[in-house]
Amino acid sequence: MDAINLWAALRSLHPERTERLVEAVGPVFGTAESFIEHLDTLRQGAAIANGRCGYIGNPYEQIAEDFEVLVCVAKRDFGPKQ
């Protein structure tokens, strides 16, 4: 599976989450594995930003959660099988 098909599958499974993240994800290309790594890198950055913000009006809280869900689904359903 390539990254475009993976992103399309994630968009169909989680349309609201992917809509919020479409600008942060940027252009989609490459293999599914490299795209999952890209999503995981973005997830880590969002988690750091979320941790550094306060609780009231934190703009990164939802984004961090969205990335966490998408990375988990991508790894579980579309990642390399062991």
Residues 52-78: what's their mean pLDDT? 91
Res. 3: pLDDT tops 90? yes
Instruction: State the pLDDT at residue 58.
Output: 87
Mean pLDDT within 38-66: 91
Q: Please write the tens of the pLDDT for every residue from 9-46.
A: 999 999 999 999 999 999 999 999 999 999 999 999 99
Residue 76 exposed, middle or buried by CB count within 10 Å (0-12, 13-18, 19+)? exposed
Mean model confidence pLDDT for the chain: 92
Q: Which phi and psi (to 5°) does residue 79 adopt?
A: -75, 175
Task: Give the model's pLDDT for residue 82.
Answer: 57
